[in-house]
Structure formats: structure tokens, C-alpha cells
Amino acid sequence: MLIAAIRSWACKLAPSLLLLGTVLSSTAQPVVLSADFESDPAQSGWVAGGPSATWSTLEKASGQSCLSVVSDQWSSPLIATKPLQWYRLTFNSKTSGKKNNAGGSGYGYWSATYVDGNGQALNSDQYSAFMPSPDWVTNTFHIRAKVTVDSDGKLQPCQLRIGFHPIHGAPFLIDNVELTETRPAQVREWADKFYATLPPLAYQPSQNRFRNLPQTVSRLFAGSTLRVLMLGDSVQQDTSNSPWELWVEKFWPGSKIEVICSTKGSTGVDFYKDHIEERIARYRPDLLIIGGISNGTNITHFASVIDHAREISRKFGKAPEILILTGAWSPNSFPRSNAYFFAPNIPELDPSPARNLAAPASFRVDLANLASLKQCGFLDMTAVSSAYIYGPAKTVGFGPPDPKTGQPYDYWMRDTIHGNDRAKLIMGRILATFFQPMR
């Protein structure tokens, strides 16, 4: 029966990223970028990052030409965006690499990078991967535009650039790139269809989870706007780039969630404790969510960020509530087993320390205790994600890494550290489930 179940899920899961190309019901939306590469892309502002990024007529999805990438990258012209507007990115790709090693031969990145109104590059961006295919396929992804704020905390638009990058020198072809404004309901429809192809999450959040988040729940219940600042590294950024808030808005009708990303790769609380006004307070968040895998194990650094974020935010007329996440997603960096965050049978920690007395001593326990002491919310992403990987995902054959080869865990990875859109969707679903109304 298990083999049959695996086969059944394999058939369902295999096309899950190709489902990104599914056309959803919609009315026409403004197109902000369209390129079929029938004329020299350099003449319309596309930039080749080196000699191996070329304009090719050897092969194409349609017409007479396409972009070719070997070891350099192609980048689009800068595109004006609206603050927090969702956009749908579609493109054709072809790459014949192997399917057994995300971050290895045959995979490619696409990216959305940003500059502010002064032309300064933002640290926050969006990276994802497209899958190898011997024939041309259509890929569809969704992007929430990044923002900055002015001196009054008002959202300010940024300019966006789409890029196509090789991974480890794997060649690929790109054609028919289009970026279109889309509505939240359309993004949620896409996310629901995509999530339905994955093993379902079996997470039941603690009944104590809102104990230290009363104003957050009050805003959601009242159908008000909730400004959320996601603070952390590239893994926290991946969680932020999922459409988690669109699920939460559906749970709480009338609510509006502004998701702002304040992230920097490989950066944690040891850095942010010295950059509170720049990275946190000026955004005037109602809720600060601290997460990622780069926060280290210095509990005083966490405490410093919490205390100073509250203190300095008061100067801007805000006192944000704070939610602390433990680390996820896990790197796939076999054979360095100590790099994995996931493990079987990790007990999920409760926001109430009294309920964690039987848990073995760990930094996660220290963090849960700190969250309670500082009256912060707490979500044990490490335990919930591990339960998923070693539970529903493992049952259908897409769970933890093989101890010898690291397979098939790379089903969830875009490279050796970061999750692909399957992983992002699960991270977003965990966060959205946490914010579901009490039952």
C-alpha cells in the first residue's frame, strides 16, 4: 500500500512546479514587461552579464530567437512597480540538466532584484529556481513588489529587475518573458492549486499562540490593516516571499496585511541589534517577525533586538508586537550532517514555558523562554517543519535526505541552502496556519 501511495503522490507531485504555468481565471491586467527577443534585447534595455549570455537564433520557443545562458546572466531593464503590488512572471525555459541535484547541473535561477528611489540596491530580493526540461516549458511565478518608506513611514515604490542566472554553469534557454500585474485573489488561487499538489501540512497550532499578540489579533478581527516586518536572512526572506498573508486575509475577512521585508543574506540578530532604527523602527511595523537560520545562539542578542526595537519604535509612535521563529528551512549540504536543521521526533515547543518542562535543554528552549519573558509570540518552525518532512512528506517519498546520497530531499531545494517554491509554500502555509482564528 505504501508503494502505491508513493506512486500516486509521485504522479501528483511531479508536475507541481510546472503547475506554475497553469492559466488561472482572470481578467486582463496591465503588462509591465514583455519580451519575445525577436529583436536585439540590448536595444530594449536587457543587459548581458558576460560573453556566455547571448542572443541566440539556434533554438527558440517561438519566433526566431531567444536568450541563451551558460555561465553569465541576463538582466531585464528596470521596471517601475507599485508598493506591495503582486505581479505574475511567466517565461519559457529549456534546460536538459539532470533532475537529481537541486543546485547542480541543469537548474537555473530567476530573480527579482530592486533599487529604491535613489538608485540604491535593496538587500531584500526574490530568488527561485526553474526545473530542467528537455523540451520548452512555461513557468509561472508570483512576486510581491518590495518597498521602502519615507520619513513618515509611508510606503514608497521601488524599481524591479528580472534576472536569469546559471547555477554551477548549467546552460539554459529563455524565451517569451512577461510580467503582469495580478490581483491577490488570483495569487491565492494559484497558491491553493499549487499547495494541493504537495503532501498536506498536519500542523495544529497551540491554543496559547496569541497570548502575547493581542493587538495583532485585534487588528485582524476588526478587519484593519496590519503592517508586518519580516526581519532576518535569506531563509526568512523566502518565507516572506510566499503568499502567506493572502491565506491569513481569507481567514480574517476584511483584514489587510502589508508584508515588508527587511532582510540581508547570512545576517541575524547579532547585526540587527546595532541597526534597529534603519532596519526596523523606521518601517513602523505593527508586528515584527524575527526568523531565519542565521540568528546564532546568543540569547542576549535576541533580547537586545527585542528591547531596542520597542524602545526606538516608540520614538516613531509605534510599539510593535513581536513574533519569534526558530530556524527553518534546512540546508541540503550533505555530508555536513550538522548543517541540517531538521531531525525526526523533535518536540514542538509551546509558547508557554510551563508546557516545555519535559523538553531536553536546547537553544530552542532558551528562545521559547525568552519569548515568554519578553512577552513575544513564539513559533517553533524547526519542529513543525521537521514534523512535516519526517511525516507527510516522508510518507510519499519526498521527505528527509538519504544518509548516503542526500536524495530525495533536494526535491524541496533550489540550491544547497535555500528552498524552492515548494518549500516556500510550506513555510508560508505554516505561518498562515499559525494565524488562523482559534477554533
Kindly tell me the burial class for residue 8, based on how many C-beta atoms sit within 10 Å of its own C-beta (0-12, 13-18, 19 or more).
exposed
Q: Are 52 and 173 members of one domain?
A: yes
3-state DSSP helix/strand/coil % of the chain, to nearest 5: 30, 25, 45
Q: What is d(CA 387, CA 330) in angstroms, rounded to the nearest whole number?
A: 13
Q: What is d(CA 351, CA 336) in angstroms, rounded to the nearest whole number?
A: 31
Q: Check: CB of residue 268 under 8 Å from CB of residue 294.
A: yes
Q: What is d(CA 13, CA 33) in angstroms, rounded to the nearest whole number?
A: 31
Q: Are 220 and 306 members of one domain?
A: yes
- For residue 332, what pLDDT is reported? 59
Q: Are 262 and 315 members of one domain?
A: yes
Closest CA to 241 of 187, 205, 321: 187
Q: Are 161 and 248 members of one domain?
A: no
Residue 10 lies in a domain: no
Residue 28 lies in a domain: no
Phi then psi dihedrals of residue 359, to 5 deg: -75, 140
User: Which range marks the domain in which residue 348 is found?
Assistant: 197-434
Of the three residues 127, 151, 182, the one that is the final residue of a domain is 182
Residue 6 lies in a domain: no
Q: Are strands 225-232 and 256-263 parallel, antiparallel or unpaired?
A: parallel
Q: Are 311 and 167 members of one domain?
A: no
94: domain CATH number is 2.60.120.260
Residue 320 lies in a domain: yes
Q: List Cα–Cα distances, 303 to 95, 187, 193, 279, 381, in angstroms.
A: 47, 36, 40, 16, 19
Residue 363 lies in a domain: yes
Domain count, the chain: 2
Q: Is the pTM of this model over 0.95?
A: no
Residue 2 lies in a domain: no
Q: Are strands 108-115 and 126-130 parallel, antiparallel or unpaired?
A: antiparallel
Q: Are 372 and 239 members of one domain?
A: yes
- For residue 164, what pLDDT is reported? 97
Q: Check: CB of residue 157 under 8 Å from CB of residue 80.
A: yes
Q: Are 118 and 247 members of one domain?
A: no
- For residue 415, what pLDDT is reported? 80
Of the three residues 148, 182, 216, the one that is the final residue of a domain is 182
- For residue 246, what pLDDT is reported? 98
Q: Is the pLDDT of residue 7 over 50?
A: no
Q: Is the pLDDT of residue 217 over 70?
A: yes
pLDDT tens by residue, 163-194: 999 887 778 999 999 999 999 999 999 999 99
Residue 188 lies in a domain: no
Q: Are 68 and 134 members of one domain?
A: yes
315: domain CATH number is 3.40.50.1110
Q: Are 378 and 428 members of one domain?
A: yes
Q: Are 310 and 168 members of one domain?
A: no
Residue 190 lies in a domain: no
Q: Is the pLDDT of residue 222 over 60?
A: yes
Phi then psi dihedrals of residue 162, to 5 deg: -90, 135
Closest CA to 148 of 278, 336, 297: 278
Q: Are 202 and 263 members of one domain?
A: yes
Q: Are 265 and 381 members of one domain?
A: yes
